[in-house]
Amino acid sequence: MSKMTRVTVARIVGLVCVLILLLIMDTSGLAKTQDNFQSPIAVDLKGYRKESGITVHVEKAGLQVAWPASGGNSGILILNLEAGRPLIESVGTSTGEKPVQVIARQLDPAALLTIGERTLKEPEGWVIFFDNPPQRPYQTFPLVLKKESVRVSSEGTRTTITIGTVSAGSFHGDMRFTFYRNSPLIHVEYVVTTQENGRAILYDTGLTSASPDWQSVAWKDTGGQVKRVPVDTAYVAQPVKVAGRTVVAEAKTGSLAAFPPPHQFFYPQDEAFNLSFVWYGKSYNTRLDDYGFGIRQSPTGDKRYVPWFNAPPGTKQHLGVFYLVSPGNAEQTLSEVAQYTRGDQFKKLPGYRTYTSHYHIEHTYEFVRRQKEQKTDQVPKELLVPGFVKTFKAHGVDIVHLAEFHEGNTPRQKASERLPLLKTLYDECARLSDEKLLVLPGEEPNVHLGGHWLSLFPKPVYWVLNRSAETPFVEQVAGFGTVYHVGNTDDVLRLMEKENGLMWTAHARIKASVGFPDGYKNRDFFLSDRFLGAAWKAMPADLSVPRLGGRVLVLMDDMANWGLRKYVPSEADLFRMEPDFETYGHLNINYLQLKKLPRFADGWQPVLDSLRQGRFFTSTGEVLIPSFTVGGKGSGETLYVSRKTVTEVKVNLEWTFPLAFAEVISGDGKQVFRQRIDLSETQALGKRTLSIPVDLKGRTWAMMMTSSTTTPPALLRLYLIRHGETEWSLSRQHTSRTDIPLTTRGEEKARELGNVLQNISFTRVLTSPRQRARRTCELAGLGARAEVEPRLVEWDYGDYEGKRSVEIHQEQPGWNLFRDGCPNGETPAHISDRVDNLIAELRVTGGNIALFSHGHLGSVLAARWIGLPVLEAEHFPLATASLSILGDDPNHPDVPIIVQWNKTLP
């Protein structure tokens, strides 16, 4: 049986905060004295595991944390839990038996939360770019910490200290410190939630001290030179334009660097301007009293569309910053920080070339304008080596695909106007290409197909976009050769076929492509192999989501299940590009399998072949996948799957920040299946080869995603939907394995559920494999996104399948399903384990998750969710086509609650 395995690899979607501080030297004294002191606040250590490699020691005034950092050094952090005292008593390093070298004392983490309004206009809703919260009223609040609770928990090689509570305006939550074994990183997060709808946010954060004891503040300027100023407690805080997004507090005993998550911190904008993303000084933003340093955002952004971050109600927003503790000086510390983004460069991999796409540089228009101004037909002196060429070379880009002529009236240009511009574009791309950088001409034509789309040909092609009925499709024009005229979708497809070009949806399902490619998925041009698919970018931004760019990740699954071999390269969708911009934070990259970099003069067909054949992976730069096979087949190839064997997925990974998880994602044309691989044991700056057994029987495609996100999952809310009415639910017969359909009324009620569920943004949609659950999911409008989850099947009734309870009681008086189980079926212990495993996995995923399931399974899920034994599930009956909601108390995130139970539509 032939199965197509699609492997559009490595989506690091979600490089989110990762570490954080503190650990203390692991000495016998610590272990012996741990129970001799009592902190001002009770410290919950039930979830702490010393096997994480991080030592947490309770002291009289708080906590000591020590962890192996790097180069034989340990990081040391002491937290003071007394009210009214700075939270960080001290932070420093230690080597071997030498005394601790304290870098700074008496520090308070400080943060500002800026809260604005999201329009939520239809049809975009939360999936919006064209919005401007800074043009409407907004407020900035300090995040206030009250030391009321402390919890220590561990997972793999990482340990987190959670301190509650924090608040800012309508947002409430906690503060977290996460530490990773063998890394000097410290990740501090404010994790906050609001119940107000339509909120968009920004945040600034850092460390402050009333009496700073470090000597200087340092950074790299945009030219790469280290700048250093002495601490002056009278200096009023100012933003600073730096390279690498990093500011360093430097003492004689070491240094402490602050920097944001390199990609997650940047919401989408048209321009990658360097907007001074760090600060230092006293009274930052007039709201922080003391002297400090940290990271920041500009509320006004690039002054075009400035959408900020989404903050839907009930979601946990992770406002994160990294600190790096070092015994070295500022120069050494900046070099250590740079390792986590490979110096803001995309690493060279043998057999691959880096490709980036969708740039509205408008170099051609500028070139023509400057020639006219300077009255010359030569290259304008300012453009001998344009800034964008310098920028891409500096970041390790091999191939850049332009999207010229985005401005102006391009679709309406006559041939006499357009053809000379195309010639200038092609001549300039040829001139600017060399052995290090291939500059490819391209456009975002945005006519004839619907929405916005990109074009890419394997050589210079002359085409005009507004053919009339009297104009031929192709003609010969002196000075330009073959010229094509397109005036409709058929013309576009004919051109692409004739010249072996590619086209794909730009910014799918957002911006001017809202509703696409869905709106033309059945059109001939989309079904053609000349239509590549769509492009990925982290847009919109939401700090509660552990993956970047979920909008397109869902589309990838959808297109694969449509039965089409479509691929998704990443896009930058940026305008100008200059050496002093904040390029890396806004960039993503595609690694194309190419033996060598094509020469412009020879054409670049190999680039299109790699894209069309799916021989590439996409990354933000921190996670790389040098090799990846499914059953021995590489990305883009077809695998024939035996019904009797398990398929091996083999992947070679390299990463900087510690990994969180990997997923093997597959589908059967209708449903999506996910197999999650926990990578919490990984450490920073590592390599590993994974061999993963996967059951791909009945699947038509598969792909791999790896995430180095270390942001904890979003606030979990489970929307539990029992399937609609069936003949056996009417007759009250126990229905598990028997796969029966919905009744007509059951289908009607399932459709009505869609009116309620359509307004909820779901992270995932899971359904039992039984047709009554899957059909309910489909009729509710969520079938295209659904993943089959076998653990959602109904309680296995064994010998009692098809029987009514009254009949069973005649045979077994006093029988109770939740106490006794079923002969040759499931026991309460079995179903409890099944449900507990599912809940644990969903906890890691987070977000709003729809679960289409069954009556007794749902009852057990509710009981186990709030910590009750299976026997108590008898108190949670479920009607057909009912909606129940399980969540956590927003004021007490550790307390699971039943938000809504057994609600049915009238």
| Per-residue pLDDT at 342 | 97
* Within a domain: 808: yes
Range(s) of the domain holding residue 189: 28-213+230-238+257-319
Same domain, 171 and 311: yes
- Could you tell me how far CA 604 lies from the centroid of its own chain? 31
- 199 labelled as ligand-binding? no
**Which of 465, 458, 464 has its CA nearest to residue 442?**
458
User: Can you give the pLDDT at residue 544?
Assistant: 86
d(CA 2, CA 251): 64
Distance CA 588, CA 395 (A): 11
In a domain, 894, yes or no: yes
Two tokens, residue 397:
């880009």
Nearby residues of 573 by Cβ (< 8 Å), 6 or more positions away: 268, 270, 358, 506, 507, 535, 537, 539
Q: Are residues 731 and 592 in the same domain?
A: no
Q: Which of 620, 636, 666 is the last residue of a domain?
A: 620
Q: Residue 649: inside a domain, yes or no?
A: no
> Quick one: 294 and 369 in the same domain?
no
Task: Let me know: does 304 contact 269? Beta carbons within 8 Å.
Answer: yes
Q: Is residue 100 part of a domain?
A: yes
The whole-number pLDDT of residue 823 equals 95
Residues 53 and 157 in one domain: yes
| Buried/exposed code over 26-51 (b: 16+ C-beta within 10 A; e: otherwise) | beeebeeeeeeeebebebebeebeee
Query: Is the same domain home to 489 and 568?
Result: yes
Q: Is 688 contained in some domain? A: no
Low-confidence ranges of the chain (pLDDT < 50): 1-36, 710, 712
Q: What is the CATH number of the domain that holds 821?
A: 3.40.50.1240
Is 648 marked as binding a ligand? Answer: no
Q: Please give the pLDDT value at position 741.
A: 97
Same domain for 721 and 609, yes or no, is no
Domain edge (last residue) among 586, 620, 654: 620
Q: Tally the domains of the chain.
A: 3
Q: How far apart are CA 277 and CA 260, in angstroms?
A: 9
For residue 363, being part of any structural domain is answered with: yes
CA–CA dist 181, 686 (Å, integer): 12
- 249 falls within a domain: no
Q: Does 366 belong to an annotated binding site?
A: no
- Provide DSSP, 182-226: T--EEEEEEEEE---SSEEEEEEEEEEESS----EEEEE-TTS-E
How deeply is 595 buried, as exposed, middle or buried, from its count of CB atoms within 10 A (0-12, 13-18, 19+)? exposed
d(CA 344, CA 394): 9
pLDDT at 819: 95
Active site residues: 723, 794
Q: Which two tokens stand for residue 331?
A: 């120069």
Domain boundary among 620, 650, 669: 620
DSSP 72-112: TEEEEEEEE-STTS-SEEEEEEEETTSPPEEEEEEEEEEEE
Angle between helix 744-757 and helix 771-779 axes, rounded to 10 deg:
50
- Domain co-membership, 111 together with 177: yes
Token pair for 120: 């939520």
Q: Is there a contact between 200 and 332 (Cβ–Cβ < 8 Å)?
A: no
Specify the pLDDT at position 37. 52
Q: Is beta strand 2-4 parallel, antiparallel or unpaired with respect to 638-640?
A: antiparallel
Considering only CA atoms, which of 658, 665, 659 is closest in space to residue 692?
Answer: 665
Q: Please check whether residues 299 and 374 belong to one and the same domain.
A: no
Same domain, 301 and 390: no
**Whether residues 55 and 173 fall in one domain:** yes
Tokens of 604: 């670049």
What global pTM score does this model have? Answer: 0.82
Q: Which residue has the tokens 């070009």?
A: 501
Rounded Cα gap, residues 787 and 768, in angstroms: 9
- The answer to whether 772 is annotated as binding is yes
Distance CA 740, CA 720 (A): 20
Confirm whether 355 is domain-assigned: yes
Same domain flag for 395 and 310: no
Tens digits of residue pLDDT in 280-304: 999 999 999 999 999 999 999 999 9
- Give the Cα separation of 552 and 139 in Å (integer): 32
Shared-domain flag, residues 747 and 811: yes
Output the domain CATH number for residue 420: 3.20.20.140
Residue 794 is classified by DSSP as P
What is the reported pLDDT for 220? 98
Task: Answer yes or no: is 797 a known binding residue.
Answer: yes
